[in-house]
């Protein structure tokens, strides 16, 4: 298993290389954002450990660029920027996880193992439902021609539930429990997520849309 680590701090970099190597990982360490892009473009890695602040090109730019290039290597952002807004920014640009520095190595290792396990367990098959649009489960991506939309984890969970039941209404109660895994979650949490997903589906509105069915819930209209 190979990890690419983009980290410009010598102390942090040396410590992580030593610990990850002892844990059985093969680690490539780069200290510059442009080097990270070149390495990701020319080599295959199982995971990218990505610092936010790097010389040349920062972690947010790297993450966004890789996702635009349809490079779906699992990414963990490792940074001293630890506000909620920073975390949201990192995840929205395409990172799979986000850890604030200084991190405890056992936690980092557990997150790496969990992300790798989750990535490998996902069905990577491309599910094509019509001649005009397809949904890729492993990538959480909708594709129609040159139009590509990447969904967040919760958006993808919601979309996949509706896709499995396409043409049939799914209640708010069912969605709330399936997405948040808690029976006590407020049903009010469902509508904002549905509205968010609708905005993401806007480029595909002629072949894929979510409709309200009064008294029953939400229905995915998917062109077969």
Domain 126-222 coded CATH 1.10.10.10: yes
- CA-to-CA distance for 125 and 148, rounded, in angstroms? 17
Q: How many CB atoms lie within 10 A of CB 130?
A: 12
With 0-12 CB in 10 A as exposed, 13-18 as middle and 19+ as buried, what is 90? buried
Q: CB within 8 A of 27, min separation 6: which ones?
A: 2, 3, 4, 5, 16, 17, 20, 21
- Listed in order, the ranges of the chain carrying CATH 3.40.50.2300 are 2-121
Looking at residue 120, its pLDDT comes to 59
Q: Over the stretch 57-67, which tens digit does the pLDDT of each residue have?
A: 888 899 988 88
Neighbours of 17 (CB within 10 A): 17
Whether the predicted pLDDT of 201 surpasses 70: yes
Q: Is the pLDDT reported for residue 170 higher than 90?
A: no
Fold of the 2-121 domain = Rossmann fold (3.40.50)
Q: What pLDDT shows up at residue 131?
A: 66
Q: Range(s) for CATH 1.10.10.10 in the chain?
A: 126-222
Model confidence at 123, pLDDT cuts 50, 70, 90, reads very low
pLDDT of 124 higher than 50: no
pLDDT for 182 equals: 60
Q: Above 90 in pLDDT, residue 173?
A: no
Residue 91: half-sphere exposure toward Cβ, Cα within 13 Å: 16
pTM above 0.95, yes or no: no
Helix, strand, or coil here: 110?
Answer: helix
**43: exposed, middle or buried (C-beta count within 10 Å: 0-12, 13-18, 19+)?**
exposed
């Amino acid at each position: 298993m190979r990890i690419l680590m983009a980290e410009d701090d010598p102390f942090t970099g040396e410590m992580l290389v030593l610990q990850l190597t002892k844990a059985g990982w093969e680690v490539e360490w780069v200290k510059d954002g442009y080097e990270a892009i070149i390495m990701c473009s020319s080599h295959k890695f199982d995971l990218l450990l990505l610092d936010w602040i790097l010389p040349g090109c920062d972690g947010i730019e790297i993450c966004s660029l890789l996702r635009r290039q349809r490079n779906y290597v699992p990414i963990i952002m490792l940074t001293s920027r630890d506000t909620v807004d920073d975390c949201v920014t990192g995840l929205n640009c395409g990172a799979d996880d986000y850890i604030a520095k200084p991190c405890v190595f056992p936690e980092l290792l557990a997150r790496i193992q969990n992300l790798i396990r989750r990535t490998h367990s996902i069905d990577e098959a491309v599910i094509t439902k019509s001649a005009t649009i397809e949904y890729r489960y492993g990538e959480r991506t909708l594709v129609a021609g040159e139009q590509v939309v990447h969904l967040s984890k919760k958006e993808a969970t919601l979309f996949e539930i509706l896709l499995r039941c396409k043409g049939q209404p799914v209640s708010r109660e069912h969605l709330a429990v399936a997405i948040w895994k808690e029976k006590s979650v407020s049903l009010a949490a469902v509508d904002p997520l549905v509205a968010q997903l609708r905005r993401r589906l806007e480029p595909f509105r002629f072949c894929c849309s979510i409709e309200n069915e009064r008294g029953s819930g939400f229905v995915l209209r998917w062109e077969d």
